[in-house]
Structure formats: C-alpha cells, structure tokens
Amino acid sequence: MKNDGFFKLAVIVGVISWMAIFAFVPNVLVFLASFSSTSSANFIEPGFSLNNYARLMDTTHLDILLSSLRLSGLVTVICLVTAYPFAAILARTRKPLRNTLLLLVVIPFWTNSLVRTYAMTAMLNSSGIVNNVLLFLGVIDSPLAMMYTPGAVVLGLVYTLLPFMILPLYAALERLDRRYLEAARDLGASPWRAFWKVVVPLTMPGIVSGCMLVFLPGIGMFYVSDVLGGAKAMLLGNFIRDQFLTTRDWPLGAAASVTLTVLMGLMLLLYWKSAARLGRKEA
Amino acid sequence: MSFSSRSCIETMPISGKLSLTQHSIFSKKKGLLGSVAMSAPRLNYLSGGVMTDSVAQSQALPVVQLRNVAKSYDGQHALTDVSLDVQRGEFLTILGPSGCGKTTILRLVAGFESATAGVISIDGKIVTELPPERRNVNTVFQSYALFPHMNVFDNVAFGLRMKKRPAAEIAIEVRETLRLVQLEGFEARMVGKLSGGQQQRVAIARAIINRPLVLLLDEPLSALDYRLRKQMQLDLKHLQRKLGITFVLVTHDQEEAFSMSDRVVVMNNGHIEQIGTPVSVYEEPRNLYVARFVGEINIINAEVVELGEGRARVRAQGLDVFMRTSHAFHPGEKVHILLRPEDLRVETLKDLAEDPELEDVFSRDRSLVGTVEETIYKGATYDVVVRLDAGGIVTATEFFNEDDETVYFKASDRVAVSWVEGWEVVLPYEK
C-alpha cells in the first residue's frame, strides 16, 4: 500500500515536472519573447511592446496566415471525407481482418514522417513513379509538374495526417451501439437520414478530435511544405521557422507562435461553447 | 362465454391443436381440490376475454404472418422452419430460453435481419425485402436504445419528424403520448438523466406514437427490478388494451409471458414447440420440453395397458390407472404421465385409515404410496417432496389450512399421493 502511494506520487511528480520543464517554461519564454524587441547584439532585448503583433498585421503576414488556414482546412476536409467511410468500414469489419487493417493504418508511424515526405518526392517528381506509370500507360505525353505545387503540399499533409483522423473516428464509430442506428431505421429514417440524425451527432466527439488532430498540426508542418512545396512559405509553420532560423527575428517568430496558439485556443473554445449551447437547447 | 369462444376458435386458421386444447380446458373442471390451481395463469384467463373477442373481429387476416421462415448465421441455424400467425389486436408472447431464436423472429419482423428462407408478411403484404423504415411496425429495444444526444421530446418526436409531420402537430402528439405513459413534464429532460423505468416508458412512447400495426417488444422488462417489472407488466397490458395495437413480446420469463399474453409461443432451439393460450400451454403441454419450461412438473413413466374411448388404462408404479388422453397410443407403448405439483393431493396413510369420509373423496384407486423426503416453505404454499415406494420422486404443492399455518407434513411421514382423473397429461415416451 505504502509502496503504491510512493509509486503514484513519483509518477505524478515526474509527469508534472516533465510538462513544466519542457512544455510550460518554453511556452512562457516564447510568450515573453513575443513582447520583446531584437537588436544586432542580442536576439532578444527584454522589454514590453506590442510592436511584433502590429508587424504581424501586415498584409503579407496576414496572407500567409490565411493561406495557411485555407490549406490546412482543405487538408482537414479531405482527411475527414476519406477517413469517415474507412473508419466506418473498419469498425464493422470482423476481428482478424480489422486488426490487420488497423496495423496498416499504424505502420507509417514506424518511419519518420520527414523520411516519408522525402519518399513522396520519389513518387511525384518528373521522373517519379506516378509520371512514369502515366507515361507508360499513354495517359500523358510529357511528365506532369506535380512537385512544388500547393497540390503536392496538400497531398503530403493528407498522407501524413490521415491516420490522426482515422483513429479517433474509428474509436467513436466502434463504440457506437448499432442499436441506435436500428432504432432510427425502425422509426422511419432512411439510411441517409439515420446517418445525419444519429450517427454523425453521436460520433461528433471523434469528428472534432480528428479535425483538431489534423487541422492544428497541418498549420505548422513546415517540413512538408519545404520538401514538397519548394521555397515558398505556404504554412504559418514555415514562417515561424524562418523567423527563428533564417531571418533571426525571434520576437516576430514568437509573436506568430503565440498568435497561432491563441487561434487554436479560440477554436477549441468556440467548439465547446457551441457544444454547450447545443446541450442547453436540448436540456 | 365458453360457447362463443369455442365457436370463434374453430374458424381460426390454426384451429387444429388450439380447439382441442380449448375443449379440454372447459371440460377440465376443478372442484374444491383445485383451489391451488386457481393461481396466476388461470386468473388471467378469466380476465382474458379480450383475446377471443378481438380475434373474432378479425379472423380474416393475421397482421403478421411467417411462413416456413429460416435464418442462419454463417451456417449456424438460428431459426428452422418457423410458421406463425399473429392475430390483429392480440398480445402474443414468444417464450423461450436465451439462444432459442425468439429475438431473431422479432428482428426479422422488424426488418433488421433478412430471412435465409421463407416469407414474412405484414398486413397481407410480403415484406421480406422491405427495409425497417418501410414496415409499419415499431420496436421497443431490450436496452431501450434511446438516442442519448436528444431529450425526451426529441426522442419521442423522432418517428413523426421522419414522416415530416408539421411541428405543431408533433408537439401535440408528443404531449399526448407522454401523458399516456405518465411522463408529462419530462419533455426537456435528457434521456440519460432518467431512471430505468422512465427510460422504458420513453422507449414505449417513442414507438407507439407512430401508431404501428404491431409493437415489437424485445425483453423490455428484463433490466428492471422485480417490483417495477410487475408494475410495468400490468401497465403494458393495460396500454395494449387501450391502444388496440398488436403486441409481440419476447421474453424468457414464463410468469411474464403468462400474466400478459393472450397467446404464448414456446420456442426451443430455433423452432416453435407449441402455440396456445397460457392456460392451454400450461395445462396441455404438447411435449416434455414445454411441460418442463413452463412451471414445475412431475413426470412419471408408465406403459399403456389398454385403450378406450378417449381414455387409456396405464400401468404406472405398479398401479393400473385410468387416464384421459386423445393421443392414439397402442397397448404396450411407453408413455409419460405429467402432473403439476398443485394438481396433486397428499394425505398421510394414517389420516386415510382413520377417516372414512376422507377416503371417499380421495381417489384411492390412483394413489401412489411413498415417504415424505422434505417439505419446502414457499410463503403462501409449501412443497411436499415425496419419494415413491415404487421409485421416483414427486413434488406436490399444498396450501396452508385457513386455521392452521403450520406445515402439515413431516419428513418420513408415510403418505399417499393422488389426483383427479383428467388432470394428468399423457405424452408419448421421449428419450
């Protein structure tokens, strides 16, 4: 009993201090840095100004932000639309086959996603597999320029992030009691209406967490944009990385980081608010 | 009453066995000795006149018809060759142990499963290929399956909304239906916040608001505690009479089946063993399985000696006894004699010897002699377990005397066990 208590304490203290040192403190530092200024001598001159945030409101920066949100939104929609049917089928498949399919979803995680992104270039470049196959089949006459386009970035992001959509959706759909669906059909709902009135609302937690897990990383995954999209900074992640590593404007990068974090926080808040309002309306 | 119900039953499509069992009920008069036998199922019969009336009204067309229906899952037979007519307005219960296929029948009628073979029709139309939303039946699920993301109102309104009825109309109907199940004022509650009994009633309201031809109830009371279950059994029966909707209930609880239904379908291992009124199923079980499944039963092995008009002389326990039977046995055939514990009468040999009057009313010529093994107190009654001299054990249920609340019999008492001719059921020998 006593040992048990010690173990519990050790785990809790361990996790809390880990989070404090590697998550909370760095975030506080970034937050503080976003109000500082920079000079040729130091990356960061302590102080308080909102200058960095004002600089972010500049149209070029806003464009990056908006295009980044758009791109990530598109990726999220594509992931949701492709993952939902797959997860639904997965949830209904019988045990041995289902485990195999789940394994196939998880296998890509075993390889570093940067390596996998480079592997995508072998598929997409002008002498890549896709072009070769299309040329061989006579579908095209000359190689398509697929690399270094927004399309390639979207494809790369979808490829990397799809499992993060599938897994929470699968969990939600697998837990969904089939009797709810039967009850809806029994009460006169067509399969389509039963899906919208019963299945979607009941799997909403899975849909939301899947979208969060895809949309939020999608904004920041700068290396996918780097490798497949070329030098153009298409994601907010690229912009932030550039401020820290290339332009060496740490305060601006920090301000962009904080903005992104606040944006994500606002979105979560919005979801909770709307969910709560929905609940109140019904309650 | 007996005359009218008899005549109507003769015009029913399945009259064969049913009229036979009905006749024997009426012919089977129970006098003073039968006081114990006037327990729940029989009382229910007295109040169950509704069934015969409603059947008489609609003898034309069964509301649900199953013809040679079979269902198998991956080569495993769940149902084999089931034929069943559900009459309009009746309360039919499908009774059987778990895994006997009773829920499968319900799911086939509801349209959640499709039959491997056979034809199902509802209201005269073949529905074998129709999806659930296009069948005019509704289901009350075992675990209710209320939509957890909706409140009581939205759950109950679901069916009408699917029919695209105007909102104002829906509001009125929901309120009325909730009043019917005594849940007025619960509209805004989320279903997860309700008690089991309340959820049960929401489930019933959600189904009956659609005015289905048939309400299918899949063990709807099994999750409730004993007291609530008893109450809901009564409520359901009253509701069924009030609405006039045909109810098909599935249960493994014999008492529930008997106290609620007009007719009972006893199932075993994917097929129907017997269909009949609770009384006929209880009093005239068609085979040992049915006899054992519905209530306690004593089974005595015997051999037919000779046959007469509706009667047979049978040798049991070294005793030649006359019995009533309509089976066509042949002399020398082995048979089972079935006797309900409450149909047996026990007297001590001492009392019989001392009291000549008692000996007159006691059917001496069919009494089996034995020794009391033990007595089991049951509250209103007690069981006397008797080991017969000729081998075998029988259990007899006795009432307490009005003026004496003590168990009359003691272990090792020498007793005689008897019954009135005609109360026994004689069945062909089964292994």
What number does CATH give the domain B57-136+212-291?
3.40.50.300
Residue B141 touches partner A, C-beta closer than 8 Å: yes
Chain B: give the shortest CA distance to residue A126, in Å. Answer: 51
Tens-digit pLDDT profile for residues A208-263: 889 988 998 898 888 888 888 876 767 888 888 888 888 888 899 999 999 888 98
3-state DSSP assignment of residue B92: strand
pLDDT band at B363 (very low <50, low <70, confident <90, very high): low
Q: Does B164 touch chain A (CB under 8 A)?
A: no
Tell me which CATH code domain B296-428 carries: 2.40.50.140
B373 touches A: beta carbon within 8 Å: no
Query: Nearest residue of A to residue B157 by CA position?
Result: A187
**Which one of A177, A186, A202 has the shortest CB-CB distance to B132?**
A186
The reported pLDDT for the residue numbered A126 is 82
**How far does B132 lie from chain A, in Å, by closest CA?**
5
The C-alpha of B155 sits at a distance from chain A's nearest C-alpha, in angstroms, of 10
Q: Which residue has the higher pLDDT, A95 or B206?
A: B206
Residue A180 identity:
Y
- A194: nearest CA partner in chain B: B162
Least CA distance to A193: which residue of chain B? B162
**What pLDDT score does B7 carry?**
36
A274 shares contact with chain B (CB less than 8 Å): no
What does the mean pLDDT of chain A come to?
A: 87
The greatest distance separating any two alpha carbons of chain A, rounded to the nearest whole angstrom, comes to 75
The CATH number given to A67-282 is 1.10.3720.10
- To the nearest whole angstrom, how far is the Cα of A84 from the nearest Cα of chain B? 20
Would you say B177 and B209 are in contact if contact means Cβ atoms under 8 Å apart? yes
Question: What's the pLDDT tens digit per position in A114-138?
Answer: 899 998 888 888 888 888 888 889 8
Q: Quick check: A4 contacting B, CB < 8 Å?
A: no
**In this predicted structure, what is the pLDDT of residue B170?**
96
Task: Report the residue of chain A nearest B190, measured CA to CA.
Answer: A283
Whether the Cβ atoms of residue B144 and residue B203 lie closer than 8 Å to each other: yes
Q: Which amino acid is at B265?
A: V
Q: Which residues of chain A have a CB within 8 Å of the CB of B145?
A: 177, 179-180, 182-183
Confidence (pLDDT) at A235: 84
Contact A179 B151 (CB under 8 A): no
Residues of A in contact with B139 (CB under 8 A): 182-183, 186
Cα B294 to chain center, whole Å? 7
A188 and chain B in contact, CB less than 8 A: yes
What is the C-alpha separation between A237 and A69, in angstroms, rounded?
A: 11
Question: Which region among A89-93, A119-123, B286-290 has the lowest average model confidence (pLDDT)?
Answer: A119-123
**Average pLDDT of chain B?**
83
Tell me the pLDDT tens digit for each residue of B139-176: 999 989 999 999 999 999 999 999 999 999 999 999 99
Whether A134 has its CB under 8 Å from any CB of chain B: the answer is: no
In chain B, domain spans: 57-136+212-291, 296-428
pLDDT of residue B56 exceeding 60, the answer is no
Q: What are the start-end ranges of the H helices in B28-142?
A: 40-47, 49-57, 102-110
Closest Cα in chain A, distance from residue B367 (Å): 56
Domain boundaries, chain A: 67-282
CB A255 within 8 A of CB A53: yes
Enter the tokens of residue B44: 């229910």
Other CB atoms within 10 Å distance of the CB of residue B257? 27
pLDDT tens readout for residues B245-285: 999 999 999 999 999 999 999 999 999 999 999 999 998 89
| B73 touching A (Cβ < 8 Å) | no
Whole-angstrom distance, CA of residue B193 vs CA of residue B179 = 19
Answer whether B139 sits within 8 Å of A184, measured CB to CB.
no
CA-nearest residue of chain A to B146? A180
Instruction: Give the C-alpha distances (Å, rounded to integers) separating B125 from A222, B64, B129, B234.
Output: 63, 9, 11, 32
The nearest alpha carbon in chain B to A203 belongs to B149
- Residue B405 has a pLDDT of 67
CA A261 vs CA A257, A268, B131, B364: distances in Å: 6, 11, 49, 96
Q: What is the pLDDT of residue B199?
A: 94
- Say what the pLDDT of residue B15 is: 35
Whats the size of chain A, residue-wise?
Answer: 283
Q: Nearest to residue B314, comparing CAs of B302, B325, B324?
A: B302
> Min CA distance, A179 vs chain B (Å)?
6
Asked if B110 and A179 come within 8 Å (Cβ–Cβ), the reply is no
Instruction: Give the residues across from B388 on adjacent strands.
Output: B370
Chain B, 169-228: which have a CB under 8 Å from a chain A CB?
188-190, 206-207, 210
pLDDT at B366 over 50: yes
A186 touches chain B (CB under 8 A): yes
Q: What is the pTM of this model?
A: 0.78
The residues near A43 (Cβ < 8 Å, ≥ 6 apart) are A248, A250
SS3 B412: coil
Burial environment of residue B178 by CB neighbours within 10 A (0 to 12, 13 to 18, 19 or more): buried
Percent of chain A exceeding pLDDT 90 equals 41
Q: What is the pLDDT of residue B117?
A: 93
Interface of B with A in 100-139 (CB under 8 A): 110-112, 131-133, 137-139
Handedness of CA A59, A65, A71, A76 (dihedral sign): negative
Q: Which residues of A touch B149 (CB under 8 A)?
A: 201-202, 282
Nearest CA in chain A to B211: A187
